[in-house]
Amino acid sequence: MFDQTRVSKQVWLTGQLMCWIVVLLAMNGICQAADHPNIIIVYADDLGFGDLSCYNSEAPYKTPRLDQMAAEGIRFTDAHSPSTICSPSRYGLFSGQQIFRSTGRGGGAFEGPGGPSYLKPGTLTVAQMLQQEGYRTGVFGKWHVGLSWFDKDGKRLGGGFENSLLIDYEKSTPLIDGPNTRGFDESFVTPNCPNTDPLYVYIENGMVATPASQRHDPKSLPNPGGKWRWDNDAGWMSPGYDFMNADLLFFEKTKAFITEHRQATPDKPFFAVLSTQIAHAPVLPAEEFNGATEAGPRADFIWELDVLVGRVLDLVKELGIDEQTLVLFNSDNGAETLHVNWMRHDHQHDPSDGWRGMKRDAWEGGHRVPFIARWPGHIPSRQVSAQMTNTTDIFATLASVVGVSLPDSAATDSFDMLPVMMGQQNESQSIRPHLLTQSFRGEFQIRQGSWKYLDHQGSGGNNYDVKNMQEWAIPEKAPDAAGQLYNLDDDPGETNNLYFTKEAKRKELQALLAKLKASGRSAPKNRTPFRTLVPSAR
């Protein structure tokens, strides 16, 4: 006989059980969100290894807030950018991969309406990974990984000066491959270098409020020191575009994103990237920073960067989230050639800090960069690590922070550096068995321990025969060699090419490079998040 009372009771119990499951899942989500730290990346531009006083005690100026950040966390002394120029390094930051994974070889720096994006559809970005973990994400400042712009006929435009005036903004926006289609909930960016390239516009959430319609005259800007305005193109700009206060604007946008997020959804973590133009040419410190140091306009510019980092650190303290916020600081490549030249001559300051080379070069000065991480209560203070690492490693490290096991198809050149940051890795045991970098022309370099092989002749970037570079040229001891082999322990200046004398090591590294290029990855498969294995160092 059908028992309606019994069935109703079973339905009621099932409903109650389902409610409790929903509640428990929701509570678990809150716990996960609470366990996930907020994450901020400050990504500097053309900042050399020796440009911070915590790296270079001989610098003719100080960077007290970055020095503080390093003292309160970890400073890496063997950190590298994926490339020796802007756009490919930014691809490495966002994708966890070397640029040849996207292009097949190298990758230039975009100018004007250049594109499409190096971040192709289907490439998992670090922002998308964090979005999937419940983060609200934002990027503010220099984008520079390529964008798709179209003319009135719907034809995709290439880069350059003339094409900047051909953009049809109605057909081009919202951008099909801008930050908001690559994992960022909010964005306020410039397409390329904010103060250098021939397309000067602000892009907010994929839209351009004020198209570029005016010709920019570089002579309208201050010219500190008589030369530091160099590389400010006479391009096309939006009316009201602010060259002098670009980084202050980017910081204010970052601050607003963080503050408003904390007010609206304090239980949800955020991920913010502050991508500065400092210290890229032209050197245009905001007015309040002019004369802040006694080492000229570029030092004033770096002082401005230091102040902005300090404001980021102060903001998280004011919001009461200091111990819940991981802050990373990194640079996209070494210092610009003329900047290195002028700083060495005018102020006895070496942005490369003794390493051979500078921006565009495959030698250490082109890609050895500052890397600092701070997370109170998790990253022990006053650590200095000689672990070999790459900007691409930020992806796997953040995945580890939030307990994500990355698919083998994603971030294929990214290694988890969290055990190093948390002080739980033996310094004598390298996380990375090898390290790939690429120079200006896309040529490859590979490190294995102290051994470095350059799969090309010369610098890989700059021409040391031109007048302003000749004095920094070093005679080649093996001019007939097709490549270069150095032992950085014995020869940190990369002056003694062992290509012929250490043939076995050279062939070993050549074979390893060929294998890593052909395999589609340099990172291990089946990566397990370190943070799920080891508790935090509180």
User: Edge-to-edge strands of the sheet including 199-200?
Assistant: 199-200, 236-237, 214-215
Task: Kindly state whether residue 350 falls inside one of the protein's structural domains.
Answer: yes
> What tokens appear for 410 in the block?
């994603």
Banded model confidence at residue 532, pLDDT cuts 50, 70, 90: low
Banded model confidence at residue 226, pLDDT cuts 50, 70, 90: confident
CA dist., res. 368 & res. 95, Å (int): 20
Task: Kindly state whether residue 443 falls inside one of the protein's structural domains.
Answer: yes
Residue 402: the pLDDT is: 97
CA dist., res. 338 & res. 364, Å (int): 17
Q: Is the pLDDT of residue 396 over 60?
A: yes
Strand partners, 187: 139
Task: Kindly state whether residue 1 falls inside one of the protein's structural domains.
Answer: no
DSSP letter assigned to residue 535: -
Banded model confidence at residue 317, pLDDT cuts 50, 70, 90: very high
For the chain, what percent of residues have pLDDT higher than 90? 91
Residue 277: the pLDDT is: 97
Answering whether pTM is above 0.85, one says: yes
Q: Which domain holds residue 518?
A: 35-532
> What tokens appear for 402 in the block?
């939030």
Asked if 186 and 170 count as a contact pair (C-beta separation under 8 A), the reply is no
Residue 1: the pLDDT is: 43
**Placement of tokens 């510019």 in the chain:** 301
Banded model confidence at residue 225, pLDDT cuts 50, 70, 90: confident
Q: Which amino acid is at 140?
A: F
Task: Kindly state whether residue 4 falls inside one of the protein's structural domains.
Answer: no
Beta-strand relationship, 74-80 and 371-374: antiparallel
User: Edge-to-edge strands of the sheet including 484-487?
Assistant: 435-438, 444-448, 451-454, 484-487
CA dist., res. 262 & res. 243, Å (int): 30
Task: Kindly state whether residue 25 falls inside one of the protein's structural domains.
Answer: no
CA dist., res. 537 & res. 201, Å (int): 44
Instruction: Please provide the average confidence, as pLDDT, over all residues in the chain.
Output: 93
- Residues 408-434: tens digit of each pLDDT: 999 999 999 999 999 999 999 999 999
The CATH number of whichever domain residue 439 belongs to comes to 3.40.720.10
- Taking residues 104-113, report their average pLDDT: 95
Q: Whose CA is closest to 315, among 363, 366, 272?
A: 272
> What tokens appear for 499 in the block?
């290509």
Residue 15: the pLDDT is: 47
Q: Is the pLDDT of residue 10 over 70?
A: no
Asked if 237 and 5 count as a contact pair (C-beta separation under 8 A), the reply is no
More confident residue, 22 or 400: 400
Task: Kindly state whether residue 28 falls inside one of the protein's structural domains.
Answer: no
For the chain, what percent of residues have pLDDT higher than 70? 92
**Domains held by the chain: number:** 1
Backbone angles phi, psi at 246, to 5 degrees: -55, -50
Task: Kindly state whether residue 11 falls inside one of the protein's structural domains.
Answer: no
